[in-house]
Amino acid sequence: MVNWSPKLGTAVSDLEVEYSEEPGFLYYFRYPVADAPGEFLPVATTRPETILGDTAVAVHPEDERYRQYVGRELTVPMTGRTIRVIADEYVDMEFGTGALKITPGHDPNDYEIGKRRGLETINIMNKDGSLNENAGQYAGMDRRVGRAEGGVGFAVRKQLWADMEAAGLVIKKEDYTLSAAVLDE
């Protein structure tokens, strides 16, 4: 995994990245069980746009709430693609819902889980920060909204969340403090 700066158009070393505490949200949503209409696994994430690159949902092997789902397929929201539920000791049963979406192409911890479990890595981002063809109907959308559109925000995140809400997949959104990378751009 590398840090990529769309503005600079280059990789940035971990030594050049500073982190700061930033206000954000924890987004709770329903991950539909593929073979059981109306049944779902509740999942929480700080970056809903990365759902489009998920290749698994992990639960802790000792978590009784989700044990019956291990090995079953889920349908990735807004894509129709199916992925499996896996068991992995990395999952914190107390964080969020205790079910962790795995996006190996966009998170270093997920990448390590993906390597251990033989998961596909799907990159959903272009070098300019827009979404690529792997993002389906969101391909070509910019990740960030420019200041001219009312401030820096996440265009794809907002659209995907609105679409998921319309599809009945949203549970809630709550305030959450993030540790965000700050690149000197």
Listed range (16-20, 55-59, 132-136, 164-168) with the worst mean pLDDT: 16-20
pLDDT of 147 strictly over 60: no
- Give the separation between CA 52 and CA 78, rounded to whole angstroms: 8
How far apart (Å, rounded) are the C-alpha atoms in residues 20 and 172? 25
Cβ atoms of 5 and 183 within 8 Å: the answer is: yes
Asked if residue 185 has pLDDT above 50, the reply is no
- Model confidence at 2, pLDDT cuts 50, 70, 90, reads low
- Is the separation of the CB atoms in 127 and 142 below 8 Å? no
Contact 117, 139 (CB under 8 A): no
* pLDDT over 70 percentage in the chain: 81
Topology of the domain comprising 3-182:
Isoleucyl-tRNA Synthetase; domain 2 (3.90.740)
Whole-model pTM?
A: 0.86
Q: Are 158 and 168 in contact (CB under 8 A)?
A: no
Q: How confident is the model at residue 105 (pLDDT cuts 50, 70, 90)?
A: confident
Give the span between the Cα atoms of 51 and 164, in whole angstroms.
11
Q: Is the pLDDT higher at 119 or at 149?
A: 119
pLDDT tens digits, one per residue of 41-92: 999 999 899 999 999 999 999 999 999 999 999 999 999 999 999 999 999 9
Mean pLDDT confidence for 25-31: 96
Domain ranges of the chain: 3-182
Question: How far is Cα 28 from Cα 95, in angstroms, rounded to an integer?
Answer: 12
